[in-house]
Amino acid sequence: MTDEAEVFENIRGIFHRDLQKEARAFQKLKGGRNSRVFRVECGDGCVFAVKAYFQSEHDRRDRMGCEFRALQLLQSEGLRETATPVAADASHGIAVYEFVEGESPNSATIGPAEIDQALGFLHALRAIARSGRAAHFPAASEACFSIQAIWQSVDGRFQRFDKASENEPALADFLHNEVEPLRIAAGRWCRDFCRENDIAADVEIPIIERTLSPSDFGFHNALKCADGRLVFLDFEYFGWDDPAKTVVDFLLHPGMELPHALRQRFYAGMIAAFADVPKLRHRVRAVYPLFGLKWCAILLNEFTLEHMARRRFADGTEGAWDGTSQIEKARCTLAIITNALRDFPYHP
C-alpha cells in the first residue's frame, strides 16, 4: 500500500472502532507543514475533519496530544471559536475533529471586526490562564520566559544552518554578510534598551504574567464562517507562553498580509487587554527584533533535512522548493527589524 493508502486504512479503523461509523469518502485539504488534513464523509452523511500528524524519532513533540487536549480544555471552558475534538488514536498519530465550513481569511476579508475577534479570543485564553484551571498544561513549544532565553533560542536556530550552509553558497553569504551584522546590532540595542527601562534580561517573568497561547496564532490559522464568525485552528504547540511573544509573532508573521492600521489595532488592543502585565509595552519593544531574527531563521528552515522530511509528509510528494525565494523572504524580515531598531512602528 502507498503511504496515503495506509493513512486511509487507519482512519477507517478509528471511525469504525471509536465512532461506529463507516468512513467512505476522503478529500485532502490544505494542511500545515506538519500534518495532512482530510475531509472525511461517512456512510450516514456525517462529515469530519481528520488530521494525520507528522511523527519522527528526531522530533518527539506530541503534536496530536497537545492539540487534542488543548481543544478539550477550550471546549470545557465554553470557547466556541475552535473545532470540537471528537476522537484520537495516539498509536497512529491521527485525530478526528468537527468539520468547520469556512474560508481562509485574506486581506480583502480581514478588517477591524476580525482583529477584535482575535483579541477577544486571546483575552479569553488569558482569563483561563488566570483562573488556574490550566495549571497542569506545559509550556508552549519553544516558549521563552526571559529575554536571555529568547536570545539562546535564536542562536540555536541559526547554529542549525552551519552544516547546511556548507553546500549552499547563497545561504552562507546571506548569513555571514546580512544576518550576522544585524544580530550583533540587535543584541547591542536590546541590552541598552533593557538597561534603560529597568528590564532584567536574565529573569523569567512570573507565572501570573504568563498566558495560554496557540503559539502559532493568526489569520493564517483560521477559517471565516458564512456568518462572519472566526474559528481558530492549529493548536499543536499550545501551552503557557509570554504574552509579548504572542503580540510580536502576530505582528511579524510572514503568512499574514495586513495593513499597518490593523496591526496597530491589534497591538493597542493587546496592550489594553493585558494591562495587568507590568511593562508589557516595553517588553514587546525589547523582543520585537529578537523574534524578527527568529522568523528569519524559520523562513530558512527548508534548508534543513528535518524540515524537508516534514514537508514531504504533509504534501505527500517530494515537492520542489525555491531556496532563493526563502532567502528573499528572510531578507524582507531583516529590513523590518532594521527599521524597527530606529523607529518602532507601533504605539499604544
**C-alpha grid cell for residue 197?**
527601562
Q: How confident is the model at residue 303 (pLDDT cuts 50, 70, 90)?
A: confident
pLDDT digits (tens, 9 = 90+) for 217-259: 999 999 999 999 999 999 999 999 999 999 999 999 988 889 9
- 282 vs 105, 237, 241, CA distance in Å? 31, 26, 17
User: In terms of domains, do 69 and 126 share one?
Assistant: no
Q: Per-residue pLDDT averaged across 35-43, rounded?
A: 95
Q: How many beta carbons lie within 10 A of that of residue 201, not counting itself?
A: 17
Q: What CATH number does residue 159 fall under?
A: 3.90.1200.10
Domain of 281, in residue numbers: 112-342
Q: Is residue 199 part of a domain?
A: yes
pTM (2 decimals)?
0.91
- The tens digit of pLDDT for each residue in 124-165 reads 999 999 999 999 999 999 999 999 999 999 999 999 888 888
Q: What is the pLDDT of residue 2?
A: 44
Q: Check whether 317 has a pLDDT greater than 70.
A: no
Are 172 and 67 found together in one domain? Answer: no
Cβ-defined contacts of 16-23 (< 8 Å, 24+):
18/87, 18/89, 18/96, 19/86, 19/87, 19/96, 21/46
Asked if residue 280 and residue 169 are part of one domain, the reply reads yes
**Residues of the chain above pLDDT 70, percent:** 92
Residue 80 shares a structural domain with residue 134: no
Q: Is the dihedral of CA 186, 187, 192, 195 positive or negative?
A: positive
Q: How many residues does the chain have?
A: 348
Q: What is the DSSP string of 299-316?
A: HTGGGSHHHHHHHHHHHS
276 vs 261: CA distance, rounded Å: 25
pLDDT in tens, 261-295: 999 999 999 999 999 999 999 999 999 999 999 99
pLDDT of residue 306: 60
Q: Which pLDDT value is given to residue 323?
A: 78
CATH number of the domain that 77 lies in? Answer: 3.30.200.20
- The pLDDT tens digits for 178-196 are 999 999 999 999 999 999 9
Indicate whether 57 pLDDT > 90: no
Q: Does some domain include residue 81?
A: yes
Return the pLDDT at 33.
Answer: 66
Of the given ranges (100-104, 105-109, 288-292), which has the lowest mean pLDDT?
Answer: 105-109
Q: How many domains in the chain?
A: 2
Whether residues 18 and 135 share a domain: the answer is no
